[in-house]
Chains A and B, each alone.
Chain A
Amino acid sequence: MTPLLHARGITVRYGSLAALDGVDLRIADGERHALIGPNGAGKTTLLDVLGGRTRSGGGRVWLAGRDVTRLGPAARARRGIGRIHQRPAVWSTLTATENVLVAALPHAVRPAGWRPGARRRAAEHTAAALLARVGLGKLGATPAGQLAHGQRRQLEIAVALAGRPRLLLLDEPAAGLSAAEVGRLAEFLRVLPRAVGVLLVEHRLDLVYALCDTVTVLRDGRTLATGTPAEIRASGPVRQAYAEGVA
């Protein structure tokens, strides 16, 4: 079966430093795939390459069998790659509702017939439902810049979902969240429909093992191992790589 995402031989060099050196990755439809590894292993760079923000110096990327290697971030987003950034990226002078509206615009469906404001009302209705789903139902009129860090994270998730992704790239979504917020995030990811594949970069390994089907370990820009959480947990070299990376 054609995988949802297939990346082969991804290489990114900054001068003589190889941030990524021939990384391969396969994500099946609806799969929950985690990417772990010590700081500086190239996890965020790999997400940037898959999202189209960073050009790969070598290798190719296919989304559902289509070569997207040469497409920029906007074109990839329209083909179904959604992104959650390590630092919540929202449009700070727009209200929460407006944030979701802007994200939904490229996917807006024109309602049948023409009634003044019908499309706008339909879009606002969808936005309100999405905000309620991520727990921001009462904050639709608040400018995003005035939301707390955890709320901005929730808003960014709503923004990403408004783009109707087939694959969601999450860069350390739990970073900077309180324990209660991490719990809500985990529950949210657990009930996310299986129509959406997930690639999760996360340092919180409890989250990774609880949520993901497959784990890939990166170190120094290379794939160290790929396997189920149980296999990865049992693997000696992986534990060692992490211990060294942390020290």
Chain B
Amino acid sequence: MSDQAVRALRRGVAALVLAGLVLAPWAVDDYTAALLARTLALGLVGVSVALLTGVAGLPTLGQTAPYAAGAYASALVAGRLSDVGPVQVAVAAAAGAALAAVTVPLVVSARGVVVLMITLAVGELVVTAAGRWRSVTGGTDGLAGIPPVRPLWGMPVLATDRARYLYTLAVVAVLLGVVLLVLRTRVGLLLRAGRDDEARLRASGHRVSAHVAGVHLAGGAVAGSAGALLVVAQQYVSPADFGFDTSALLLLGVVIGGAASVAGALVGTVVVIAARDWLFGVLPGQAPLVLGLAFVVTVYLLPGGERRPAVRGRLLPGVPNRRRPADRPTPSEVRV
């Protein structure tokens, strides 16, 4: 297929997906609409995972941490300060970026499995902290009774699940658009270059550590905004929303959606989370098993060679990536 045909096909699929997402709440009941809104929020976290893992080549398991920070910050703002949507999203994004800023010194010079372990630990620590810090987070009971959101100043509050779903969809679409636009500038170029060869990027005079720190902050802000949407969708937040299973599902969704494609990651995450929620009803208690199997199969079927998802540096410390034989001349070619 020619490049043009592929591009046309992709545009067609994107339009269909968007139409389906807009019309979905009229096809389902209120409970499912709320579930779908929550799934979209997780899809936005998936976008932040794809930004780090796919575009920048920095695999992470810790994007639930800024997601949680954003959710709690926005729940507190909604309860005490403002019910206006953009205010909540902005505060949540700031909280997510702030949490990412705390972890940046830990991950900025590490790569590969070490980063996976660090981000996993940070994610777990945040969940534990959320469970213990009762005065702010409500502990394991969570924060309930969060007032409904007002999409803009002067507009009425969103009283139905369908309206809240559409609000979530609109915010996700806007933020996804912003991410895609920014990636079309030199920012995207530098992130992809760093994924391909960091040493060459340094040898060209680029401050690679600043790029890595920057993309972590941006990823934290996107995941934090998703936290604000979660709070809007379920009007409740508790540590159970940010467990390790969520991190693993996010990574699975991102890998299925095509790690380097940010929009694909959104779709992949939505599909995986929806599958989990559906399996939860069909096979009570077996859903984690099925998703674990899906994980194994996906990793097994990952494309190799040129299309293999790229990761920066070394996967394990001390284990160099496999290299082709060096192209040195053989000694017989050396003459005096």
Contacts and interface: CB of A to CB of B under 8 A. Distances in A.
B205 A78 contact: yes
A98 B199 CA distance: 17
Q: Size band of the B side of the interface?
A: 20 to 34
Nearest to B203: A83
A222 interface: no
Chain A, interface SS category: helix
Interface string A102-141: 1101110000000000000000000000000000000000
B331 A246 contact: yes
Interface stretch (A4-12, A25-33, A69-77, A188-196): A69-77
A106 B204 contact: yes
B334 A242 contact: yes
Given A74-B205, A149-B327, A163-B205, A90 B197 contact: yes
B335 A74 contact: no
A73 B203 contact: yes
A87 interface: yes
A145 interface: yes
B11 interface: no
A98 B189 contact: yes
A104 to B, nearest CB: 9
- Looking at chain A, what size class is its interface with the partner chain? 35 or more
Contacts of A149: 327
A175 interface: yes
Contacts of A239: 336
Contact of A89 (B203, B205, B329, B331): B203
A91 B193 contact: yes
Contacts of B186: 101-102, 105
B192 interface: yes
B148 to A, nearest CB: 41
Contact of B193 (A102, A205, A246): A102
A105 B333 CA distance: 39
Interface centre among B196, B200, B329 (most CB of A within 10 A): B200
Given A92-B196, A94-B189, A105-B206, A242 B331 contact: no
Interface of B: 186, 189-190, 192-193, 195-197, 199-208, 306, 310, 323, 326-329, 331, 333-336
Given A102-B201, A203-B334, 8 more contacts: A39-B331, A87-B327, A91-B192, A91-B201, A94-B189, A106-B204, A203-B329, A206-B335
Interface of A: 39, 51, 53, 72-75, 77-78, 82-83, 85-87, 89-94, 98-99, 101-103, 105-107, 145, 149, 159, 162-163, 172, 175-176, 203-206, 238-239, 242-243, 246
